[in-house]
């Protein structure tokens, strides 16, 4: 199974991509002019991207939960490189007036010029690698674009070990982004902190983006972002994605910390611990696993 290939996949710089992410879009992104006030959410898949996108959008829109229940998240914060319904996120974005809110799963290389120019605000989302991989395994099972993966958890773990996984290796991905984490225009948000101290994270994001939200709006946002609320909000729960089979596994699946304990063998856990200790911790980042 480690040789599993989904239909239409291609590889860019060691990174496995879907055919709806074309090299042409990536080249256009390399030269896309990001301006002061733009916000780029950068995450590895399954690290709580949707949760963070919804938070960022609400902070930037004064906690407008009515709109976030009536307009699809992808229209509010386009997924830059992905072509959904015949149009890339970049094209959706270009129809909107600035400042732009956008999301990417690409590594930082594509955005080097914009990051170094220091104008765009970048919010990097991260989740511990073990829960990320378990969530990714279920995403492979339910996503028809990934060929309805029928392998076991062990098979999926091998795919990641050989780096043959959508968006490439978790550790390589985060090495590419975390090198920028101390720049003034970059904020790092941990999935596990969103669980344990959401009001503080909303304030951190607000301060980072120069917004001053009253306490009642922060309280509304906290309520809106609960797992139960988001699971039933069709504008964020991806239930309208025809390529996802939510009966196999819902997109908002469990939303927990520590589910990896139900999947990882001791040997698999040791492999991830070793990479975490040699790659993530030396970059000055510690993550919670329980
Ligand atoms: P699980 O599969 O572990 O449940 P992404 O948006 O990057 O694809 O990440 C999806 C993961 O984030 C899923 O993890 C999903 O349940 C979790 N998630 C999304 N919204 C959440 C919320 N409001 N609270 C907790 N977890 C959430």
**What's the pLDDT at 85?**
79
CA 249 vs CA 133, 145, 146, 281: distances in Å:
15, 14, 14, 32
* Ligand 1 atom with the shortest distance to the CA of 138: 2
Taking the centre of ligand 1 as the mean of its atom positions, its distance from the CA of residue 247, in whole angstroms, is 16
Task: Please state, in angstroms and rounded to a whole number, the distance separating the CA atoms of residues 263 and 33.
Answer: 43
**What's the pLDDT at 65?**
96
Task: Please state, in angstroms and rounded to a whole number, the distance separating the CA atoms of residues 103 and 120.
Answer: 12
**What's the pLDDT at 48?**
98
* Ligand 1 atom with the shortest distance to the CA of 125: 7
Q: Are 132 and 165 in contact (CB under 8 A)?
A: no
pLDDT tens-digit map of 169-205:
999 999 999 999 999 999 999 999 999 999 999 999 9
Which of 169, 164, 141 has its CA nearest to residue 251? 141
Residue with tokens 């991509």: 17
Low-confidence ranges of the chain (pLDDT < 70): none
105 is catalytic: yes
Taking the centre of ligand 1 as the mean of its atom positions, its distance from the CA of residue 52, in whole angstroms, is 9
DSSP state of 244: B
0.85 surpassed by complex ipTM: yes
**What's the pLDDT at 199?**
98
Taking the centre of ligand 1 as the mean of its atom positions, its distance from the CA of residue 5, in whole angstroms, is 25
Q: Are 73 and 94 in contact (CB under 8 A)?
A: no
Task: Please state, in angstroms and rounded to a whole number, the distance separating the CA atoms of residues 204 and 189.
Answer: 9
Strands 10-12 and 15-17: antiparallel
Pocket of ligand 1 (CB under 6 A): 43, 45-51, 131, 135, 138, 225, 227, 230, 252-255, 259
**What's the pLDDT at 89?**
96
**What's the pLDDT at 63?**
98
Task: Please state, in angstroms and rounded to a whole number, the distance separating the CA atoms of residues 207 and 199.
Answer: 12
**What's the pLDDT at 148?**
79
**What's the pLDDT at 1?**
72
CATH number 3.40.50.300 given to 10-283: yes
pLDDT tens-digit map of 12-34:
998 999 999 999 999 999 999 99
Q: Where are the domains of the chain?
A: 10-283
Strands (E), the chain: 10-12, 15-17, 39-43, 83-84, 87-88, 101-104, 121-126, 186-190
- Angle 67-73-78 (CA atoms, 0-180°, nearest 5)? 125
Taking the centre of ligand 1 as the mean of its atom positions, its distance from the CA of residue 73, in whole angstroms, is 14
**What's the pLDDT at 233?**
96
- Angle 154-253-47 (CA atoms, 0-180°, nearest 5)? 75
Q: Are 74 and 84 in contact (CB under 8 A)?
A: yes
Which of 43, 239, 44 has its CA nearest to residue 56? 43
In this structure, the residue with its CA closest to atom 23 of ligand 1 is 227
């Amino acid at each position: 199974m480690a040789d599993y290939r989904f239909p239409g996949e291609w590889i860019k710089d060691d990174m496995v991509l879907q055919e709806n992410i074309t090299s042409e879009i990536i080249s256009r992104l390399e030269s896309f002019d990001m301006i002061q006030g733009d916000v780029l959410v950068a995450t590895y898949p399954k690290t709580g991207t949707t949760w963070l996108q919804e938070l960022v959008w609400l902070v930037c829109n004064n906690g407008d939960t009515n709109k976030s229940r009536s307009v699809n998240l992808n229209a509010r914060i386009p997924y830059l490189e992905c072509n959904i319904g015949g149009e890339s996120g970049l094209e959706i974005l270009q129809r909107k007036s600035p400042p732009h809110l956008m999301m990417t799963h690409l590594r930082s290389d594509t955005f080097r010029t914009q990051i170094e120019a220091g104008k765009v605000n970048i919010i990097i989302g991260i989740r511990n690698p073990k829960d990320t991989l378990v969530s990714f395994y279920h995403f492979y099972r339910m996503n028809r674009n990934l060929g309805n993966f029928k392998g076991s958890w062990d098979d999926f773990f091998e795919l990641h070990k050989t780096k043959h996984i959508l968006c490439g290796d978790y550790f390589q991905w985060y090495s590419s982004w975390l090198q920028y984490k101390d720049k003034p225009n970059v904020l790092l948000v941990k999935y596990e902190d969103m669980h344990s101290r959401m009001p503080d994270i909303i304030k951190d994001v607000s301060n980072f983006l120069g917004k001053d939200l009253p306490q009642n709006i922060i309280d509304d946002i906290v309520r809106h972002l609960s797992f139960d609320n988001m699971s039933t909000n069709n504008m964020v729960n991806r239930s309208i994605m025809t390529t996802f089979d939510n009966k196999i596994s819902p997109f908002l699946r469990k939303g927990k910390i520590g589910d990896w304990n139900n999947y990882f063998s001791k040997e698999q856990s040791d492999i991830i611990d070793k990479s975490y200790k040699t790659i993530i911790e030396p970059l000055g980042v510690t993550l919670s696993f329980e």
